[in-house]
Every structure is written in structure tokens, then in C-alpha cells.
Amino acid sequence: MTARIIDGKAFAAGLRARVGAAAAEVTAECGRKPGFAVVLVGEDPASAVYVRSKGKATLAAGMESFEHRLPADIAQGTLEALVDRLNADPAVDGILVQLPLPKHLDESAIITRIDPDKDVDGFHPVNAGRLATGLAGFVPCTPYGCLLLLRDVLGDLSGLDAVVIGRSNIVGKPMAQLLIAESCTVTVAHSRTRDLPEVVRRADIVVAAVGRAGMVKPDWVKPGATLIDVGINRTEAGLVGDVDPACAEVAGAMTPVPGGVGPMTIAVLLRNTLVSAARRGGVTLDAAI
Ligand code: NAD
């Protein structure tokens, strides 16, 4: 068996196009474009690249992009004052503070300062609580992107056995919540899990979010399973995921790295900003978004 390779790049392009079309409708109804504000503190080169591509994608979807670049030695109070201004600004529907922040800043205090109804990254504890209790809110972009791919490949996920490897607040935990809401039977595995290969072997769906190159091996995989590889590992051989590509011999479908989950993150960020603008402007969106 050779797995179907899930084309996240193509799916993300389709999502971005749908978001762009809906953004034009929201703009016409509200008399202003959906607005996305991104805050970058310091000069971390990887963060600067992410912020630039988020800004470009925002403009390409017909939305307004507000970029705030602040020096690495900024005081906590000054950054909080900026977040307060963005919270109060009617032109801003979505706020993202690029992480990680420099060590002297209290990251958790900044995240909880963002208005939960503008928290398009979905990292605010209020949004984590909404996700856990089935209320409408914002879901972190990467796990939501994984869910969209899973629904596209498998349709109804109800009753399937899912294993999420990794329990971080930004990927593993929200991924598990989303799969529970889809009526999967969910196991969350992590660094202390005993006999991980045996746990993974039971799964119809595996989401790997660890950060260890090629960790999931072909003999861990149930024949026909769907594998979603969130891992991004820089190796001498280039960018690789957490799933050994040889798993394609056993799996039914799997995401490649790069070109799988990666492109979904920014597309979902645009989607969340659009949803925020529509909610704030009282516009009803097509359910497909
Ligand atoms: P993290 O470091 O916060 O969490 C890693 C998790 O892996 C932890 O919960 C830990 O318990 C678990 N783990 C560690 N060693 C393990 C082992 N031997 N067996 C089983 N579990 C183990 O990482 P994160 O932020 O959740 O990111 C995970 C990976 O996903 C990273 O490679 C990251 O670069 C990538 N990532 C990609 C995207 C994207 O594609 N857009 C977004 C976020 C993260």
C-alpha cells in the first residue's frame, strides 16, 4: 500500500481564496476591511520571517495589516499599553503577539491581556476554556488546520481512535479537544508515555507534534491509518517532520513535510480574523468557512 499524500499547500490555497471572497463581502457590508494586527518584539530572524509572511497573506486576502515592531528591550508596561490600544481600536479584529517574547517579558500576562474576542491565535485561557466546553471562540491555528485536513480526507471522524503525540498548549492539547468534539476516542501521548509504538498502533488517526525527526516508524502504524505530521525539524537533510516518510508504505494517507500542515497555519489565521470581523460586524458567514 502507498499512502495518499495530503496536499496541505493546495488545501490552504483553497481556504485562502474562500477567505478572500468572504472578506470582500464583509468589507462591503461593514464599510471597512477586516483588520489584523501583529506585534513583533525584537529581531529574532525566524519570527521576522513569520511576521512578514503573515502580513503579506493578510493583504493578499483583501484585509488590512497593522504591523508593530518594537525593540527587544521594551518594558512590560509599554507592551501592555500597546495591547490595550489594539483591544480598543475598532479597525482591529485580530491581534497576534509573535512568540517567543524576550526573556524579561511575562508572556502569559501579555497573552491574557489580549481581548479574547480578538485573540485569533486562540492562546488566551478564555479561548482554551471555550474550546474545552464547546463554546464558540478561537481555536489555535495549527490544530484547527490539522482538523480541516482530517475532515477533508476522512469525512465523518466519529468513533475513530485518535492518538495525539505531544501535549503542548498550542498544538497537542487543543488538537485533543477538537478530536473529542468530533467524537473520536482520543489518547494523548507524551514524553512519559509507556510503549508509545503500541499506543500508536491502535490509532486510525495519528497527529504527531513532538519535534523529533522521523520518530514515528512504519512498524508503529496501523495499516490504512491517517497520519498528520505537525513536526518541523531542521536537519542536515533539510526540513523533516516527526513521521518517518517510510510510513507511506503502511498508512492510508499522510501529510508531507514541508507542504502538509505548515501552509495551513497562516490560512487558518486569516480565517479566524475574518470570523472575528464578521462577528463584530454582525455579518453571517457561509458555514464552509
Ligand atoms: P513542545 O516542545 O511544546 O511540545 C512537544 C511535546 O512532545 C511535549 O508535550 C512532550 O511531552 C512531547 N514529547 C517529547 N518527547 C517525546 C517522546 N520521546 N515521546 C512522546 N512525546 C514526546 O512543541 P510544540 O510547540 O507542540 O511543537 C511540536 C512540533 O510541531 C515542533 O516540531 C514544532 O516546530 C512544530 N510546530 C509546527 C507548526 C506548524 O506547522 N505551523 C506549529 C507549531 C508547532
Angle formed by the axes of helices 8-30 and 141-154, to 10°? 110
Q: How many CB atoms lie within 10 A of CB 136?
A: 10
pLDDT in tens, 201-244: 999 999 999 999 999 999 999 999 999 999 999 999 999 999 99
Is any ligand 1 atom within 6 A of the Cβ of residue 137? no
Rounded mean pLDDT, 165-181: 98
pLDDT band at 104 (very low <50, low <70, confident <90, very high): very high
Catalytic residue among 33, 54, 173, 222: 54
DSSP letter at 100?
S
Inside any domain, residue 281: no
Inside any domain, residue 110: yes
Assign residue 171 the CATH number of its domain.
3.40.50.720
Same domain, 108 and 167: no
Query: 35, exposed or middle or buried, with CB in 10 Å at 0-12, 13-18, 19+?
Result: buried
Number of domains comprising the chain: 2
Query: 90, exposed or middle or buried, with CB in 10 Å at 0-12, 13-18, 19+?
Result: exposed
Rounded mean pLDDT, 111-134: 98
Is any ligand 1 atom within 6 A of the Cβ of residue 142? yes
Please give the number of the atom of ligand 1 that sits closest to the Cα of 171. 26
Does residue 41 have a pLDDT over 80?
yes
Q: Are strands 233-235 and 238-240 parallel, antiparallel or unpaired?
A: antiparallel
Same domain, 151 and 238: yes
98 part of the active site: yes
Give 191-245 as a DSSP string.
TT-SSHHHHHHT-SEEEE-S--TT-B-GGGSPTT-EEEE---EEETTEEE-SB-G
Is any ligand 1 atom within 6 A of the Cβ of residue 79? no
Does residue 286 have a pLDDT over 90?
no
Ligand 1 centroid–CA 211 distance in Å is 5
Q: Say how far apart CA 142 and CA 264 lie, in whole Å.
A: 7
Ligand 1 centroid–CA 283 distance in Å is 36
Same domain, 152 and 88: no
Assign residue 57 the CATH number of its domain.
3.40.50.10860
Which of 167, 187, 191 has most ligand 1 atoms within 8 Å of CB, for mutation? 191
The predicted pLDDT at position 155 comes to 98
Rounded mean pLDDT, 108-127: 98
Rounded mean pLDDT, 69-91: 98
Same domain, 256 and 193: yes
204 part of the active site: no
Does residue 288 have a pLDDT over 80?
no
Inside any domain, residue 194: yes
Q: Quick one: which of 220, 244, 242 has its CA closest to 230?
A: 242
Same domain, 192 and 92: no
Is any ligand 1 atom within 6 A of the Cβ of residue 189? yes
121 part of the active site: yes
Q: Are strands 35-41 and 233-235 parallel, antiparallel or unpaired?
A: unpaired
% of the chain exceeding 70 in pLDDT: 100
Which residue has a Cα nearest atom 39 of ligand 1? 262
Does residue 1 have a pLDDT over 80?
no
pLDDT, averaged across the chain: 97
Same domain, 103 and 45: yes
Catalytic residue among 98, 118, 177, 204: 98
Same domain, 175 and 74: no
Q: How far is CA 170 from CA 60, 68, 141, 256, in A?
A: 26, 23, 9, 21
The predicted pLDDT at position 188 comes to 98
The predicted pLDDT at position 287 comes to 79
Is any ligand 1 atom within 6 A of the Cβ of residue 261? yes
Q: Has this prediction a pTM greater than 0.95?
A: yes
**Grid cell for residue 234:** 531542521
Rounded mean pLDDT, 246-266: 98
Ligand 1 centroid–CA 170 distance in Å is 9
Rounded mean pLDDT, 150-154: 98
Which of 144, 171, 270 has most ligand 1 atoms within 8 Å of CB, for mutation? 171
Instruction: Find the domain containing 49 and state its range.
Output: 31-115
pLDDT band at 289 (very low <50, low <70, confident <90, very high): confident
Inside any domain, residue 17: no
